[in-house]
Amino acid sequence: MRLTPETVREEYDRIQDRRDDVVPLVNETRAHLGAQFGVEVETLTDDAYAAAIDEVFADGDRAVNAAALARLLRDLDVAGDYPGFVVDELLGRELAAIIAGEQPLRLLAEATFHVADVRTHGDDAEPAGADDLDAALAAGVQTRVPGWPWQRSASPFAVE
């Protein structure tokens, strides 16, 4: 795989074009997690998704890594699927983390990837990594974009 500024731009466009599939997955994942924790979580809009992807790809170092992982997932297929299960999980978690940002959001996105992943299933005609790509986008964006009650105020643990 060769990445250039042009191919990163192509991947950015593809990821932006996934919003019709990813935004509903984000909102389903947020609703599920909110119910698990007994909190209301704001839903994500198409505009918020687009803005989050814009932020990720505005950072060239982050953009090239996100593009590479997305391309790998989009094309990843392993005969019998199970042997590829570990690699698509690894790539999906890492893409979710890159999108989410720095710690602790990075770790939360990795954990959320598994929740989103069990909520999406690709078409049998698609490579096995395609649904992991959507799960990674959903987990990363849902973690990056505020909407959780704990994100509404400053941490009480900051030392001043």
Q: What is the pLDDT of residues 60-119, one digit of tens each?
A: 999 999 999 999 888 877 766 666 567 888 899 999 999 999 999 999 999 999 998 887
Q: Which residue has the higher pLDDT, 126 or 158?
A: 158
Q: What is the pLDDT of residues 19-67, one digit of tens each?
A: 999 999 999 999 999 999 999 999 999 999 999 999 999 999 999 999 9
pLDDT at 1: 84
For residues 115-134, give the mean pLDDT: 74
pTM of the predicted structure, to 2 decimals: 0.90
DSSP readout, 108-121? Answer: HHHHHHHHHHTT--
pLDDT at 82: 61
Count CB neighbours of 76 within 10 A.
Answer: 18
pLDDT at 93: 94
Reported for 85-94, long-range contacts at CB under 8 A and 24+ positions apart, including other chains, are 88/128, 88/129, 88/132, 89/113, 89/114, 89/117, 89/132, 91/129, 91/132, 91/136, 92/117, 92/129, 92/132, 92/133, 92/135, 92/136, 92/139, 93/136, 94/69
Query: Domain residues of the chain, as ranges?
Result: 5-149
Q: Residue 143 burial (CB < 10 Å; 0-12/13-18/19+)?
A: buried
3-state secondary structure (DSSP) of residue 3: coil
